[in-house]
Structure 1
Amino acid sequence: MAKIQDRIDLIQGLSQRMHTFLVDLSEEDWDRPSACDAWQVGDVLGHLIGGAERQMESLRRGLNGDSGPPDGFVPLDAEGISANNARQYVALRQSLGDQLLTVFDQRYSELGRVLNTLGAGDWDKGCWHMRRGNMTARDYVDLRIQEMTIHDWDMRSAFDPDCRLDAESVGALLDIAPMWLGMTFRPGPAIPAPVVFRFELDSHPDRNHEVSVTGSQFQISTGSARDADALLRCDSDTYLLYMYGRIDSSSPRLKVDADPALMRQFEVWFKGL
């Protein structure tokens, strides 16, 4: 497990990387469709601003012993949360106008200061998250890295379809991937026997693993599954883009040994956000 300070520094590095990329965009560039459904490039940045604001508020409440939902919280299913987010952050982007990047810089500078005030005894305190419910302050840092890395790619790929994920963030996202699968799993009817999907990563063989799905539940394990129903081989970037729903199993970046219908079912069970 990486030191928490390394994770905080990574968040700050990602925000600076995004600023450097975005600062010279034209008005037309901000309006380009991103790789994130329903959002233009500017809308993605609005979402990242909102994410930093939510995290700081959740940390404030959590450090004061309140890890439950905020007043007025209305629970929604995953589809409802996504639809609400899509509308909310388009509106935020529009309200900020040409101050969008300035506010982004401000919020991530504030977030860095807040995270650097936490002491050793604070990182395991509970904080509220609308999808995860109660999660630790430490896990929330990982979630912020995840969102920043994937959405950085969402924006960059609008200009360069062959761009890669931030290299310094890939290791962190591989650490976070099991948590992400848990957040995106859509349980369905139980099936007679588990279906096993094996993932082999060319550049990180120590990360090879199996995902076993019973329809209503799933389990992740390591080791060699000789009886896997599906085998996927790829590099780390491709694995992460697949897991986060940015490409599907038909992508030529993936080497797939499986019935295409089985892979489509995996993408129903684990639907990227």
Structure 2
Amino acid sequence: MGSVLEKAQLVKDESARIGVYLKTLKPEAWATESACDAWEVQDVVAHLTGAVDRFGPNIIRGIGGDGSAPEGMPPAGEGDMAARLRANAQVAIDFRTSLGGEVLAAYNDSRVRFDD
């Protein structure tokens, strides 16, 4: 694949495409079970939305040469992976709950922040 800038553009384009698709969903579709265990569609979107704020600082640290684990997390390959996945799933659910009915608006806001 191409340069870092080309990859970033790809993420921007796909994020915009997802946003267009999400606008077409009927309200009941947001509560549909997803392919991800324990998540509904709205939880998957909340996960994508929160990732901009949660993972951005980790990426910046990595670019700066800091490969240590994020605060509160064990180093890669250590710890209980099942517990880590459950905790990650719950973070998305809690975040979605905190957004109320504004998951799509929050997704679009995070997409704009990422694009900037």
TM-score (norm 2): 0.82
Q: What do you get for the CA RMSD once the two structures are aligned?
A: 1.9
106, 112, 115: which is aligned to 1:112? Answer: 115
Q: In structure 2, what is the Cα distance between the partners aligned to 1:4 and 1:110?
A: 18
Give the equivalent residue in structure 1 for 2:38: 38
- Partner of 1:76, secondary structure, is coil
Name the amino acid aligned to 1:100: V
Q: In structure 1, what is the Cα distance between the partners aligned to 2:88 and 2:71?
A: 18
Query: Post-superposition shift, 1:44?
Result: 0.4
Q: In structure 2, what is the Cα distance between the partners aligned to 1:77 and 1:41?
A: 26
Q: In structure 2, what is the Cα distance between the partners aligned to 1:58 and 1:15?
A: 20
Identity of paired residues, percent?
31
Aligned length: 113
Give the equivalent residue in structure 2 for 1:6: 6
- Alignment pair present for 1:82 and 2:82: no
Q: Do the aligned partners of 2:16 and 2:111 also contact (CA within 8 Å) in 1?
A: no
Q: Do the aligned partners of 1:34 and 1:40 also contact (CA within 8 Å) in 2?
A: yes
Pair 100,84 (structure 1): closer, same or farther in 2 beyond 3 Å: same
More strand by share: 1
Q: Do the aligned partners of 1:12 and 1:109 also contact (CA within 8 Å) in 2?
A: no
Deviations 1:120-169, CA, capped at 9 Å, x for gaps: xxxxxxxxxxxxxxxxxxxxxxxxxxxxxxxxxxxxxxxxxxxxxxxxxx
Larger Rg: 1
Unaligned 5+ segments in structure 2 are: none
Unaligned 5+ segments in structure 1 are: 114-273
Q: In structure 2, what is the Cα distance between the partners aligned to 1:110 and 1:33?
A: 28
Q: Do the aligned partners of 1:12 and 1:112 also contact (CA within 8 Å) in 2?
A: yes
Name the amino acid aligned to 2:100: G
Pairing 1:1-273 to 2, within 5 Å after superposition: 1-74=1-74, 76-113=79-116
Q: In structure 1, what is the Cα distance between the partners aligned to 2:82 and 2:97?
A: 23
Q: Relative contact order (alpha carbons < 8 A, sep ≥ 6): 1 or 2 greater?
A: 2
Name the amino acid aligned to 1:55: F
Pair 51,76 (structure 1): closer, same or farther in 2 beyond 3 Å: farther
Pair 94,6 (structure 1): closer, same or farther in 2 beyond 3 Å: same
